[in-house]
Each structure stands twice: as structure tokens, then as C-alpha cells.
A and B are shown apart, each in its own frame.
Chain A
């Protein structure tokens, strides 16, 4: 392959982010579920939930470690791979980046305390309260870092004059038009994904041991949370569509292969595109794009033809967008189906097909997160700062990006492999029924 630092920088950044985002997502969501479980345990005086919180926390540390180190990697790579971009961005968005490290610091301190003080306090509620700063820290760092990404999509709060930037207004840059929908979508989808991942673990265990009360409680808690967060994610997703129509019409148009500006625009699912921009075999849902873009079935939606050809995003984002939306809809329906089977009370048995689907829901939710980010990022190509700086102008000129790409490939393969191995071992060595017995539940005498 011909050496091209921009291409390699893009691949390496994609690789790092794609790997980091898996751990970052659960890093934001799982503390919420751990806190929910611990709170339920305290309120209902039900030790099952407390044990649930503890076991989740034990596995969570492993994922946090990988999240922290890959987050460090992306933090450094921003300057290493995109030095010219950071020269500009460093001036405009240093504020949220700086605040993000504070939030991370706060989370790091309290996570350490939380993990090592399970039996230190007389009242269990004191320990529960320590989970709150962890949640605040992790969600706040997601908030701040997402404002940085939002800024790259809708930059404002500065002026660019002859290549140097002037008149910087840090808060205006931070609270740009993309911030509200992006942050809300990131947070809701992280909580939702984490709920499905934990539900998948519970469903997997239930397939092996259907009578386990512990895993039934886990499934109930996680699926209830999953339903709430899926509905929230879908609602914010709709708002995001309206945001795109107003501020980044080319991104929405590329996702929907919508070339001619038109009213009563249909939404296209699947299909493929001929070289002269005709859609074949796609499923068209009439009026849906107009509704997504502006809330009324007849409104006008701007087409891709309005955007100069060299400023259009690649058209394959259509498939990625479709995949993300389909996964979101499927998962919401799945959570509803779970609730439906529960309508006769919690004593009834779960159908096997439902448990199998929930096992799949965990990885699917993760895939949805990846798709969402790829769509958001590729959808603003060729810009690194939409309207201001093209991606090609932001990258490093160093001669060694290809070697570094190989190096990081090995690193992520190694980390990914070990994480799976360690997490597997952690739970296998520590079977639930043994721990239940140690706590004086099932199989042992209640204390």
C-alpha cells in the first residue's frame, strides 16, 4: 500500500476509538446498574441484589482498566496523529478536555474507595452513597468528551483568520448546537447497552440453570432498566434526526441516499445504489424521512445534491445507519417482549427463545454503539472541523504512522484476548452457587 500518513492516521484513530468505545460504554453504564442493584438490595433488604452489585463490580474493574488505558491512548494520539488539528482545537476546546480529566479524576478516586469499602461502614447506605460520585464522574466525563466531538460537528465560538484562530469563546464552543442531542444520545445508549450486556450474562446463566433465583432477579432488574433506557435512546435518536436536518443536512441525506431536495420524503431501508444514484431493492417508508427530519409528513428535506461533491460524506454510511436503527428497534421490542412474558408474575418460566435472544442482545447492543459512532464520524467526512478544516489538513506528516498502526493492532488484539480470558476465568472460578452458599443463601442456612 502506498504510504499515506492521513489514511494511516485515520485507520489508527478508528481502531483505537472502536476498541476504546466498547469499554467506555460499559464504563459509563455499568456503575448506574451496580448502584441500582445495591440500592434495591438495601431497600428490599434482599442480599441477592447486594451480591449482584458486588459481582458486577468485580468484573467491572477489569473493563475499567482497559477503558482507562485505551482512553489514555486516544488522549495522546489526538496530539500525535492530528497535531495541526489540535493546534486549532487546543485553543477552542481545551476547556471541556480539561474538565473531562477532572471528572475522570473524581471517578477514579471514588471507584477506588467504592471497591475497597464494602464492609467498612456500619450502615450499608454509606457505601451505596459512594457509588453516586462514581456515576457522576463517569457520566460527566462522557458529557465533556462528547461536547468536544459535538464541537467538531458544529464548530462555533471562534473565528479563523489567516490560519490562526481568534475571538475564542470557550463556553459557546462547548455548548454548540450538536451538544444536547449528542450528549443525551451517548448517555442513554451507554446505559441501555450496559443493561443489555448484563442481561445477556444473566440470560446465558439461566439457559444453563433455569431455576436460579439469583439470575432471575438479575434478568428482571437489567431488562426493566433496558426497556427504560431503550425508549429514552429512541426518543433522543429522533431528536438527533431533527438536529441533523437543521445543522448537518448532508449527513442525514447521505444516510438516506436522499439526493433531490423534496417534500414528503420517504425513509429507505436497505437496498443498494446504482452508479447513477438510483436505489434498487430498498424498502421505502413513505413520509418517514420528513417526519424524522422535521416532525411533519409533508415537510421539505434537503437533498445531497445541494452539497458540493467534494464535501459529501461516503454513501456507505446508509448501511451503517440502517444497522444502528434496526438494532435499536429490535432491542426495544425485545425488552417489551420480556415484559409481556412477565405479565403473569415473576413465577412463570422464561421461554428459551426469549433467553437466547437476550443473550444475543448484549453483543448486538455493542454493535449498535459501534455503528452509531461510525455513522457519526464518517458522516462528517471530509471534514475534521465541519466547515473549517478538512481531515487531510489535520493529520501528522510523520513517516512512521504505518508501523505504529501495526504496533497498536497487536496491542488491541492482546488486550482483547486477555480481557475475555480473564473475565471468563473470574466468573468460572467463582461460581454463583458457591458464593450464594457462602452468603448463607440457597444451599446453606440463611443467617
Chain B
């Protein structure tokens, strides 16, 4: 495998990691607020908080990692995306900033502050919508370069059926992934009241998820037929993704093996996301940036790959430790060990 493909694969894996952990986080924020408004807070709030508190900081890192990595491996992305994305990027930053800080404010500082919880819950849905813009514009047609100046065509973005399909998919899949995870977590915590609530969320969001996935699939055909053709060549990946979806929903419906169900959800999105990514190749921003012409120097690529491997050697054991202490620690999940000092 050459460095270009290795680089983009590493980044895509991290973006996938962000997709999963951030979805859980964003959705949980929304459910936490929703249950608070509908008076069911006492049922689900505990399991949400107990999961989120030790890991909220880690989520952000996946995103930063992706951004720094893509600028490192493909410096031209900074130039094109940077210029084009000033407004949506800044809006996303503001939302992320509000969300991150108000989470901390409402969890560690002023408990049960309604405004803080609203900010935290609402931004959880707006962030995926604004971040999904990046994927939309990567298809091409929203950026033009005239006389060496990069222009972002806002009106075209807002009137494109494809971009709205992506936003819709981002929103519902966040809620679906999150509800599926919380179902698994509640069952581990043996919190059956919470389980009933989040299980109904999970089942409720499953149909919209698959429908909006189909919508995006066909919207690509309208927007970038060449890409659609490459997706059809990889159609087996999307078929497996759909089978995983059926398996996951089937298990939750029959109230069985929630752990396997969540694993299937992860596979469902993995196959769809990597299928989409593979068919997107070799372009990062169609048609301006592709992985072969805009790659960093070889010396830097080697250095980045070495650091990446060294970093993983450090991170994986730490993440395992984090999970063993919190996610997969029966005592902690059920709330038996002490909380923060």
C-alpha cells in the first residue's frame, strides 16, 4: 500500500471513530434534554451521565485528530476547505464550544440549570448538521476557483436536494446510534426502566435512518453520477450494511443480546461509511484535490506514519484502561462505586 492510501485510510478510520463516539455523545445530549422536558429525567438521566462524564473530552480529540491529520497529509485541503468553509466551519466551532463548555457547566457546576441543558441538548443536533456540510461539498459543485480565488457557492448548497438529504441522514443516524448504544448500556447497568425508554427511542429512529440512507444514496446519483457509479461497483458493502441493520433492529426488537446489537450497528455504519469513502477515491474535494497530486512530502509522510503508530501504542492501552474502569466495569455502570471527588 502506498503512503497516500495509507494516509487517507488512517484519517477515514478516525473520522469513523468520531462518527460513532460523537453520535453517542450528541444523541445522548439530546435525549438527556428531551427526557428532562418530558419529565422522564429520573428514568434515563443517570445512565447517560454516568457514561458521558469520564469520556466527553475524548470525543473532541477524534475530530481534532482528523483535522490536523488531513492538513498534515494533504496540505492543499487547508487551502480549499479552509477558504470555502469559513462560515459553516465557524458556526460548527461555536456550536462545539457551547456544547462542550455547557456540558461541563451543567454537570460539574450548576446542576439542573435549564438554559445550560437546552444549549447542550440543542447543539447536539445542530453540530452534526453543520459538520455534514463538509461531506456534502466534498462531492464537488459547491466550490469554484476563479483567478486563483476560492469561492463557496452558498445558494447552491442551500438549494441542493443532496445536501439536505445528507443533513437529514446525519440527524437521524445520530439519534439512532446513540439510542442503540444507550439501550446496550442500560441493559448492562440492569436499569430496566431506562432500558424501556431508550429501547423505544432506538426502534423509533431505526426506520427514518434506513430511509434517509436510501435517500442519500439516490441523491448522489443526481449530484455526482460518476461517484454513484463507483458506489454501485461496491454495492456488496452497502448490502452487508443493510443486513447488519436488520440484525441489529431484530435483536433489539426481540430484547436479546443488546451488546451484539450495538456491534451490528457499528458494522452497519462501518460498511456504509467505508463503502462511501472507497467510492469517493481518489478525490478528497472533487475535482480540485485528489490524494495523489496533493500529498505531503515523503519525509513528512513517513514521520507522520511513525508517530501515528507510536501514538496508537500509547493510546490503545489507555483507552482499554478507560473502558475497563468505566464502560465495562459492572460496579461503575450500575452506580455502586463512588462518583467524582
A residues near B (Cβ < 8 Å) are 54, 57-58, 61-62, 64-66, 68-73, 75-84, 86-88, 90-92, 94-95, 97-102, 104-106, 108-113, 115-120, 133, 165-166, 168-171, 396-398, 400-401, 403-404, 407-408, 411, 414-415, 418-419, 421-423, 425-426
Contact = CB atoms under 8 A, between A and B. Distances in A.
Given A118-B338, A398-B86, A94 B109 contact: no
A425 B111 CA distance: 11
B54 A400 contact: no
B186 to A, nearest CB: 19
B57 interface: yes
A170 B300 contact: yes
Interface string B280-311: 00000000000000001101100110011001
18 contacts: A62-B104, A69-B101, A72-B63, A72-B93, A72-B97, A80-B86, A90-B78, A101-B69, A102-B307, A105-B311, A106-B314, A108-B58, A112-B56, A120-B325, A168-B300, A169-B299, A397-B150, A407-B90
Nearest 6 CB-CB pairings of A with B: A94-B72, A65-B104, A83-B82, A118-B341, A90-B75, A422-B109
A408 B98 CA distance: 11
B105 interface: yes
B83 interface: yes
Per DSSP, chain B at the interface is: helix
B340 interface: yes
B254 interface: no
Contacts of A110: 318
Contacts of B64: 71-72, 75, 101, 104
B149 A109 contact: no
Nearest to B154: A400
B326 A116 contact: yes
Given A83-B80, A105-B58, A112-B326, 12 more contacts: A62-B108, A64-B57, A65-B103, A66-B104, A73-B93, A83-B79, A86-B79, A95-B304, A95-B307, A104-B64, A109-B58, A112-B56
Interface in B125-163: 149-150, 152
B285 to A, nearest CB: 13
B90 A415 contact: no
B239 interface: no
Contacts of B78: 78-79, 83, 86-87, 90
B73 interface: yes
Contact of B57 (A91, A111, A422): A111
